[in-house]
Amino acid sequence: MTQVGNTGLMDIDKIRAETPGTESVIHFNNAGSALPPTVVLDTVVEYLQTEAVTGGYEIVADRTDELASVYTAASALVGGQPENWAFVESATRAWNAAFSSLRFERGDKVITNKAEYPSNMGGLLRAAEIQGVEVLIAPDDEHGQVDVAAVANLLDERTKLVSVTHVPTQGGLINPTNAVGAILRDTPVLYQVDACQSVGQLNVNIEEMGCDVLSFTGRKFARGPRGTGMVWASDAALDRMKLPAGVDMQGAQWIEPMEILPLSGAKRFEPYEIFFAGKVGLAAALRYAAELGIENIEARNTELSSSLRSQLAAIPGVGVHDKGARKSAIVTFGVDGHAPADIQAKLRGLGINVSVTAESSARLDFPERGLGDLVRASVHYYNTAEEIDRFIEVISEL
């Protein structure tokens, strides 16, 4: 039996007992949507039950402090001041709410990376179409991660923003976001980081990263409810932002018939109508991760994913297609003669959850490497060596 994971600092049996889904499935789809702990489930259900007998507006008025706790929980886990955090519906909404608040002039440059998400590329290309922004894609280095030196060489007086995905949807990569932040720290260039796959998986710290904007989702490694996300913006970034796309009166004031002003802080990004039960559920999830210790979570995830990756690579006919000097808990692979969607379906029938990373979600990466769709297996700290053994057994039988 494979021995993986540092259980000395984490009571895995207790954690699994607090994760009802582990009784019924082997869940290797945490990069899609992780299994929530009981405290998150109970928090959401209790809020909905109370809302049903109290009234939607009334419970919001009664639970102001509880709803606001999501900002302090995000601040405690990831950094930044609570007032610089906003709660929204998803990571896509979070990233685009902040980006769409920026104003560019024709000829301004935005630098992105080959790990960029399609939804973020949509925002960048919209800015190119409407505002005449030039979008540059920084190359990868010899490890397959964004080339920090190349980013530095691309900077000039026209560069207004650098956008980096910390952990992409595919390829196991962890981009060196702190190193990028270091070269931008003393420049006027804003730095936006998509941390949708890293918050809850890795030790993400805003101050160490040196970013101006950071966004993440609740449903992935943070183990929160679906329909939740958060975005943080620095004071310097907020000073340069205007009304976001889709502005709601929760985040702005209609002060004159032809004048609407955004609120001064990050709450300008928030819509009026949100998943309020999810908001308190996400707060519970972030507190749960903080109590376990994000350093402990990262260490166990590294051990679990390293074991899974190395064992898959040892199976004849299996190709693991991960890259980067550091690798995440996301493992992407293919099996000769088997379509990824067929593998996903077979595993699902055996009580094992994985997902498929489509070529269409990695247009800046997969075609260049000659790759099509791949199977994506993403572990989290509540997974076990026994589950990996069972997974390897099934893949070997293919």
Mean pLDDT (whole number) for 211-233: 98
- Global pTM reads 0.95
Domain stop point among 242, 268, 291: 291
- Are both 342 and 219 inside the same structural domain? no
355-357/259-262 β-pairing? unpaired
- Are both 210 and 87 inside the same structural domain? yes
- Grouping H, G, I as helix, E, B as strand and the rest as coil, residue 325 is coil
Q: Say if CB 251 and CB 85 are below 8 A apart.
A: no
CATH number (domain holding residue 255): 3.40.640.10
Domain stop point among 257, 291, 325: 291
- Are both 172 and 215 inside the same structural domain? yes
- Are both 207 and 301 inside the same structural domain? no
- Are both 51 and 181 inside the same structural domain? yes
Q: Identify the DSSP state of 227.
A: S
- Are both 99 and 183 inside the same structural domain? yes
- Are both 129 and 180 inside the same structural domain? yes
Whole-number pLDDT of residue 282:
98
User: Could you tell me if residue 147 is inside a domain?
Assistant: yes
- Grouping H, G, I as helix, E, B as strand and the rest as coil, residue 258 is coil
| DSSP-assigned letters across all residues of 147-184 | -HHHHHHH--TTEEEEEEESS-SSTTB---HHHHHHHH
Q: Can you list the pairs that 358-366 forms with residues at least 24 positions away whose Cβ atoms lie under 8 Å? A: 360/118, 361/117, 361/118, 361/169, 361/170, 362/168, 362/169, 362/170, 362/171, 363/118, 363/121, 364/113, 364/114, 364/115, 364/116, 364/121, 364/137, 365/114, 365/115, 365/168, 365/170, 365/171, 366/170
Q: What is the band of 187 on the pLDDT scale with cuts at 50, 70, 90?
A: very high
User: Could you tell me if residue 351 is inside a domain?
Assistant: yes
- Are both 126 and 269 inside the same structural domain? yes
Whole-number pLDDT of residue 247:
87
Q: Say if CB 224 and CB 202 are below 8 A apart.
A: no
User: Could you tell me if residue 367 is inside a domain?
Assistant: yes
CATH number (domain holding residue 363): 3.90.1150.10
| DSSP-assigned letters across all residues of 61-89 | HHTHHHHHHHHHHHHHHH-S-GGGEEEES
Strand partners, 260: 254
Domain stop point among 242, 272, 291: 291
Interatomic CA distance for residues 51 and 45, integer angstroms: 10
- Grouping H, G, I as helix, E, B as strand and the rest as coil, residue 350 is coil
User: Could you tell me if residue 148 is inside a domain?
Assistant: yes
Interatomic CA distance for residues 250 and 267, integer angstroms: 8
User: Could you tell me if residue 2 is inside a domain?
Assistant: no
Mean pLDDT (whole number) for 151-169: 97
- Residue 123's closest CA among 151, 104, 145, 144? 104
User: Could you tell me if residue 229 is inside a domain?
Assistant: yes
Kindly report, residue by residue over 250-276, the tens digit of the pLDDT: 889 999 999 999 988 999 999 999 999
- Are both 48 and 20 inside the same structural domain? no
Kindly report, residue by residue over 68-90, the tens digit of the pLDDT: 999 999 999 999 999 999 999 99
Count of structural domains within the chain: 2
- Are both 31 and 126 inside the same structural domain? no
Instruction: State which residues form the domain around 98.
Output: 42-291
Q: Say if CB 87 and CB 279 are below 8 A apart.
A: yes
Q: What is the band of 5 on the pLDDT scale with cuts at 50, 70, 90?
A: very low
Least trusted range by pLDDT, from 24-33, 95-104, 232-241, 357-366: 357-366
Whole-number pLDDT of residue 2:
47
Mean pLDDT over each residue of the chain, to the nearest integer: 95
User: Could you tell me if residue 46 is inside a domain?
Assistant: yes
- Are both 98 and 112 inside the same structural domain? yes
Backbone angles phi, psi at 282, to 5 degrees: -65, -40
Kindly report, residue by residue over 22-76, the tens digit of the pLDDT: 999 999 999 999 999 999 999 999 999 999 999 999 999 999 999 999 999 999 9
- Are both 160 and 179 inside the same structural domain? yes
Whole-number pLDDT of residue 135:
98
User: Could you tell me if residue 156 is inside a domain?
Assistant: yes
- The sign one gets for the Cα dihedral 331, 335, 336, 342 is negative
